[in-house]
Structure 1
């Protein structure tokens, strides 16, 4: 987009942005107490989701059938296969 074709910011909105930018210097972060709570019950990686990659994988029909019949409630059979592969890797690392 060329600069001369851009829509100008309305004056009222620009005044609000300027006021917010000026207010940043008024915020006293030194008055905020440091978080020193008990983190012993914290769970690392609770919201972490690894990047998934879609592939085509040919598996024996009996394996697919077993995972479809035996996956935990609320979890898909593909997730169960992924978990099983992760457990295998964890037990067979060099």
Structure 2
């Protein structure tokens, strides 16, 4: 059985108005003191946890199809390394992008 993805676009500038019930819930939450929140089901995050944490471990960016002009010798070199030359192009560009963001 195949699953079909459903996408919805939401215009954040034109959200439907909140119901009275939703407004009451938000008001009650805003009045609650932080000390009254029950965190017993959430384990504390220790320094050890953050030491082993990885940024973006489960992040999967969306792909966009585009057309680019690449020197013929560069493309030949990428293709000569076997299947997956487009993924290699992406990896090279991502590495450069991340380096420039440091």
Q: TM-score, normalised by structure 2?
A: 0.44
Higher Cα radius of gyration: 1
Q: TM-score, normalised by structure 1?
A: 0.46
